[in-house]
Amino acid sequence: MVLYLVGVGPGSPDFVTPAAQRAVEESDLIIGSERVLELFDKEVERLVFDGKNVREKLEEGVKRAGKGETVSILSTGDPGFSGVLKPVNEILKKFNINVSVQVIPGISSIQLCAARLLLPWNNADILTLHGRKDDEILKIIDNGKPTILLPSKNPTETASFLIEKGVNPHRKVAICERLSYPDERVMIMKLKDVKNSRFSYMCVMVIY
């Protein structure tokens, strides 16, 4: 019995690793959002989660692995960064489930964003606002390093928040939207222009 936590990349099949494919091939059950499940052709039982039932489906998957099934929980990007690793660890502890857990790392949107912008990301601050207050960003954006950010909702709202907190509206910002998809966009803008634009929820934001 194995519980795989599988990073499946930012969305395109091009970024699904052979290790991720092998984990899915070995699985009795795969779990993930609709868009990541579509990356795999294997005929296997599937559980789809959305924003309302993620915890419920994760718990079901962990419990079934604990009963002897091989389960893959699919995570966009990498499971360890704003992914499924944290909630799965909480579930394992809560229900005292003893199962072999293997994390299959994936290519994250953070990495792809840095690549598109030719930005060495070892010299950047990386922050997710998923599940955090926007105030977290104010602690680091003026330390002389670029900040690579996963906004909590949308870059427009994050830009509005920063301007309200006194950040220069002419500050340089990059928005990488729908990375790896055919309609991918990489835009260099001023913070004030981000505030007055519209984007999909699938964005990475870089504040220079």
Measured between alpha carbons, how far is 35 from 43 in angstroms, rounded to an integer? 16
For position 181, which CATH number holds?
3.30.950.10
Measured between alpha carbons, how far is 160 from 191 in angstroms, rounded to an integer? 8
Q: What is the DSSP string of the chain?
A: -EEEEEE-BSS-GGG--HHHHHHHHT-SEEEE-HHHHTT-----EEEE--TTTHHHHHHHHHHHHHTT--EEEEESB-TTTTSSHHHHHHHHHHHT---EEEEE----HHHHHHHHTT--GGGSEEEE-TTS-GGGGGGTTTSSS-EEEE-SS-HHHHHHHHHHTT--TT-EEEEEESTTSTT-EEEEEEHHHHHTS---S-EEEEE-
| Total length of the chain | 208
Domain that holds residue 70: 2-104
State the distance between the two ends of the chain, measured CA to CA, in whole angstroms: 46
pLDDT of the residue at 134: 74
Tell me: do 118 and 197 sit in the same domain: yes
Tell me: do 35 and 90 sit in the same domain: yes
For position 54, which CATH number holds?
3.40.1010.10
pLDDT of the residue at 131: 66
Tell me: do 162 and 74 sit in the same domain: no
pLDDT of the residue at 32: 96
Largest CA distance in the chain: 56
Residue 30 near residue 24 (C-beta atoms within 8 A) = yes
Tell me: do 43 and 95 sit in the same domain: yes
The pTM for the full model equals: 0.90
- Of 104, 139, 170, the one marking the end of a domain is 104
pLDDT of the residue at 175: 98
Q: The tokens 């934001």 sit on which residue?
A: 205
Tell me: do 80 and 174 sit in the same domain: no
Tell me: do 83 and 146 sit in the same domain: no
Tell me: do 37 and 58 sit in the same domain: yes
Tell me: do 151 and 180 sit in the same domain: yes
Q: What parts of the chain have a pLDDT lower than 50? A: none
- Of 104, 137, 160, the one marking the end of a domain is 104
Tokens of 127: 């922050």
User: What's the total number of domains in the chain?
Assistant: 2
Tell me: do 12 and 100 sit in the same domain: yes
Cβ contacts of 48-55, under 8 Å, gap ≥ 24: 54/87, 55/87, 55/91
- Alpha-carbon distances, residue 207 vs 87, 108, 124, 190 (angstroms): 29, 18, 10, 10
